[in-house]
Amino acid sequence: MACGKPVSKGKLPAILGWLIAGIVFGPDLAGVVTQDVTDTLWYKILIKFFECFAGVMIGREIIAVVVAKFAFKWAGEIQN
């Protein structure tokens, strides 16, 4: 979450910061995860779980933007 804030201040989606952090600090780049670990079932399940989590976070961010735009439009109609 902390990596998304600096990117979002630049008027870019916060998910971009999360992706950059994942690439920079990822276990494959650091050499922590070996091929033996990536072949195990628990690792594959864990990766699928985190893919779902990332999808929910992306969806939440997109929905928040859409709701905010709708709310501002609706508030402007009420004032007129």
pLDDT string in tens for the chain (80-residue length): 566 667 667 777 777 887 888 777 777 766 777 888 888 999 899 989 988 988 887 787 777 777 777 777 766 666 65
- Does the pTM surpass 0.85? The reply is no
Query: Residue 2 and residue 7: Cα distance in Å, rounded?
Result: 10
Alpha helices in the chain (DSSP H): 4-9, 14-25, 27-30, 35-38, 41-79
pLDDT of res. 67: 77
pLDDT of res. 1: 54
pLDDT of res. 49: 92
